[in-house]
Amino acid sequence: MPKQLLFILLLVVYYFSIAQTECTGGMAGTYPCNDYDLMSHIDLSTLNASLANDSWGWTDPSDNSEYAIVGLNNGTAFINVTDPLNAVYLGKLPTATSNSTWRDIKVYNNHAYIVSEAGSHGMQVFDLTQLRSVTSPPQTFSATYHFTDFGACHNIALNEDTGYAYAIGCNSFSGGPHFIDLSNPALPVSDGGYSTDGYTHDAQIVTYNGPDLAHVGKEIFLGSNGDEIVIVDVTDKSNPIKLSEISYPQYGYVHQGWLTEDHVYFILGDETDELNTGFNTRTMMFDFTDLDNPVYIDDYEGPTGAIDHNGYIKGNIYYQSSYSRGVAMLDVSDVQNGNLTEVGFFDTYPPNNNTNFSGVWNVYPFFSSNNIVVSDLDGGFFLIRQSGTLSIADNSINGFSLYPNPASSYTTIEMPNSKTISNIKIYDILGQILLDFNPESFASTYQLDVSNYAFGTYILRINNSESKKLIIE
């Protein structure tokens, strides 16, 4: 390959890694999509890992900076996504013992809680506020505290209302939930557990605020236990009370589910029904109006045979990670009639949509910015966002501000903290440089003439360090 062509290809890959790739004509670069754009991507080689698994997020209450937390086979990665077009890999907390395919993370009160199926791993506690002061990324971090009341553990769930974590699928309490008091976030304390229904694979725990008046205000555990869903009142940790259990036709493995925001309906994914029975991606719907008598409503089949994994609800959208098909967005507003409607998707695994365990493991849709974290077994970290929602404000979060954007004749570049502008570059979406300019006198603001550029999307890079999307129309 000629060196000049290789340079252009590397430039294209580099700038696509830091800049928004819009979903146009069903593709965002090389990724199939519908109504969702790619903001940022960091691959596994950069993360120095061979696979990714779970993911979660943390919003710093001091300044609303956003951080993605990504589980890896050999540890946990922390990524600053405050500027969605310039995600910064800050570093990694290595695994507590050995490497493992399984790692799970949840966040409470500025601390991350990390479990793994690695032998004797226990639970790592990590004070997330130390991410504020990273100056030379990527760093190797140390755990704030190592909790060892159990060893290997598949998963962890958490109720932020009560400050309790629930370690599940561990070598304690027959794999049922191990209750952990987080009153002191840096020094968690065991507070019993529940073993009556055996192994729990995943769970959601809520302070119930739904239509069942008999249970309003109670702490309710919704466990996906492989062969059934169990509903348990865990308000009194010394005396958990099982309320009910429910299954559904032709189950394979009852994997993970999430309540609608009104606590009326429960949406569930089964991880092996596509393999065992030949369904397309199948999603089950339940009516939880009466927690003592839950009712199976119906199921929904997606357009491919991809296996579904973890899913979460924000507003009326169920964000479903579906391995080889990536992430599907399903509208749940008509769930009472047994209807889910796909309204978007982003496929981080382009080779196929087959019934296999390649592609997306988890999706985290809860940032107030509406940026969505995706962790892909094979592809690493992705940050996506609904098309057409990247606003001017997002171009002012970190680094320099850019306004107006979209622009027609002029756009103003403004640096924070009186930093000066020493170089301005503009690239087109193919990575070709259109402008390389050093202002005659350095200042913290500069009005850039863009009147001679065609309508479209460009990358504006300042001082060879910060980049943002520039739209000209």
Q: How far apart are CA 340 and CA 328, in angstroms?
A: 11
pLDDT at 429: 64
pLDDT at 84: 87
Long-range contacts of 225-228 (CB under 8 A, 24+ apart): 225/197, 225/198, 225/199, 225/200, 225/201, 225/254, 226/199, 226/201, 226/253, 226/254, 227/251, 227/254, 228/197, 228/254
Q: Strand locations in 148-303, DSSP E?
A: 153-159, 164-170, 178-181, 189-193, 202-207, 219-224, 229-233, 241-246, 254-259, 265-270, 282-287, 295-301
Which tokens belong to 239? Answer: 């005396």
pLDDT at 82: 86
Q: Give 343's contacts (C-beta < 8 A, 6+ positions apart).
A: 35, 317, 329, 330, 331
Q: Average pLDDT in the 81-97 region?
A: 93
Q: For residue 406, say if its preceding peptide bond is cis, omega within 30 degrees of 0.
A: yes
315 pLDDT more than 90: yes
pLDDT in tens, 201-244: 999 999 999 999 999 999 999 999 999 999 999 999 999 999 99
Reference 59, options 105, 18, 113, 107; nearest CA is 107
pLDDT at 7: 34
Give the helix/strand (H/E) hosting 3. Answer: helix 3-18
Q: How far apart are CA 328 and CA 363, in angstroms?
A: 10
Asked if residue 222 lies in contact with residue 263, where contact means CB atoms within 8 angstroms, the answer is no
Q: One-letter amino acid identity for 238? A: S
Of the listed ranges 171-180, 373-382, 429-438, the least confidently predicted one is 429-438
Structural domains in the chain, sorted by start: 21-386 (2.130.10.10), 392-472 (2.60.40.3080)
pLDDT in tens, 181-199: 999 999 999 999 999 999 9
328 pLDDT more than 60: yes
pLDDT at 275: 95
4 pLDDT more than 50: no
pTM of the model: 0.83
Q: How far apart are CA 87 and CA 18, in angstroms?
A: 7
Q: How far apart are CA 109 and CA 111, in angstroms?
A: 6
Q: How far apart are CA 14 and CA 433, in angstroms?
A: 13
pLDDT at 430: 60
Q: Give 55's contacts (C-beta < 8 A, 6+ positions apart).
A: 68, 69, 70, 71, 105, 361, 362, 363, 364, 373, 374, 375, 381
Q: Comparing 112 with 441, which gets the higher pLDDT?
A: 112
Reference 185, options 258, 284, 113, 259; nearest CA is 113
Angle at 260 between CA 328 and CA 221, to 5 degrees: 110
Q: Maximum Cα–Cα distance for the chain, whole Å?
A: 74
What pLDDT band is residue 468 in, cutting at 50, 70 and 90? confident
Do β-strands 52-59 and 372-376 pair in parallel, antiparallel, or remain unpaired? Answer: unpaired
461 pLDDT more than 90: no
Q: Give 423's contacts (C-beta < 8 A, 6+ positions apart).
A: 436, 437, 438, 462, 463, 464
* Chain centre distance of CA 433: 33
> What does residue 27 show for φ and ψ, rounded to 5 degrees?
-140, 140
**DSSP-derived secondary structure letter, 454:** P
Angle at 278 between CA 272 and CA 280, to 5 degrees: 85
State the chain's mean pLDDT as an integer. 92
Which tokens belong to 223? Answer: 């466990």
> What three-state secondary structure class fits 332?
coil
Asked if residue 268 lies in contact with residue 283, where contact means CB atoms within 8 angstroms, the answer is yes
396 pLDDT more than 60: no
Q: How far apart are CA 444 and CA 462, in angstroms?
A: 11
pLDDT in tens, 92-134: 999 999 999 999 999 999 999 999 999 999 999 999 999 999 9
Which tokens belong to 433? Answer: 């440089």
What pLDDT band is residue 323 in, cutting at 50, 70 and 90? very high
Q: Average pLDDT in the 276-290 region?
A: 97
Q: Strand locations in 177-228, DSSP E?
A: 178-181, 189-193, 202-207, 219-224
The fraction of the chain above a pLDDT of 70, given in percent, is 93
Range with the largest mean pLDDT of 256-270, 380-394, 419-433: 256-270
Q: How far apart are CA 275 and CA 265, in angstroms?
A: 26
